Amino acid sequence: DIQLTQSPSSLSASVGDRVTFTCQASHDISNYLNWYQQKPGRAPKLLIYDASNLQTGVPSRFSGSGSGTDFTLTISSLQPEDIATYYCQHYDNLPLFGGGTKVEI
Amino acid sequence: QVQLQESGPGLVKPLQTLSLTCTVSGASISSGTHYWSWIRQHPGKGLEYIGYIFYSGSTYYNPSLKSRLSISVDTSKNQFSLRLTSVTAADTAVYYCARGLDRYDHWGQGTLVTVSS
């Protein structure tokens, strides 16, 4: 079974910082990796699909990259409204989510 | 725009059945263009996939829940539903309905279901 490991589990940054966090798959998953943002008390929101495609309506400061086993989500200039937990997700026989990275300011 | 809304009891007794319904607006389940999923999140934890249904009634269930789980669809009401039997405290979670198979682009707001006597 594929496993998704996100790191770090949490990070603290300042407004305007470039923030990067990673998702590592236990097996090659090509580019079948999505990223979500979840704010406290809210449902997750799709940010990036197929590793690098920006979902409609998502600010361009978000970007995704990677393929195979190593993936990255980058926020080019952190904004106060970006405080959230970010999850990666892969679809195989069973859709699977990573453990999340909590971003704080 | 596409909206999903979960409804159902917020409190279920142990060993009873958890039943939730997701009402879809702004999109037609019967169009056959999307799959419709259930996902849950235990308090303070990550996300767990429950299962999906297609307009035709075909389903997929998480193997860890399969023996207790049933997902159904009512295209006339543009709704799909989840039934989870013999619940325990481990089933306490926020339950989300969402649109999609390999990625989930629209979600309901989520509903907290607590299993307690």
Query: Bridge partners of A85?
Result: A38, A102
- A105 pLDDT exceeds 90? no
| E strand or H helix at B7 | strand B3-7
pLDDT in tens, B4-60: 999 999 999 999 999 999 999 999 999 999 999 999 999 989 999 999 999 999 999
pLDDT in tens, A16-46: 999 999 999 999 999 999 999 999 999 999 9
Model pLDDT, residue B98:
98
Contact (CB<8Å) A97/B49:
yes
The DSSP result for B52-98, as a single string, is EE-TTS-EEE-TTTGGGEEEEEETTTTEEEEEE-S--GGG-EEEEEE
From B103's Cα to the closest Cα of chain A, the distance in A is: 7
Report how far residue A98's alpha carbon sits from residue B60's, in angstroms, rounded to the nearest whole number: 21
CA B48 to chain centre: 11
Secondary structure (3-state) at B37: strand
Interface residues on B facing A, Cβ-Cβ cutoff 8 A: 37, 46-49, 62-63, 96, 98, 101-105, 107-110
Residue type, A87: Y
Chain A hits for B47, Cβ within 8 Å: 44, 87, 89, 97
Contact (CB<8Å) B46/A94:
no
Interface test with B, best of A50, A88, A91, A102 (most B CBs within 10 A): A91
**Gyration radius of chain B over CA positions:** 13
- Which of A42, A44, A55 is facing B47, going by the closest CB pair? A44
Given a contact cutoff of 8 angstroms between Cβ atoms, the answer to whether A52 and A31 are in contact is yes
- Angle value at C-alpha B96, between B91 and B100, nearest 5 degrees: 125
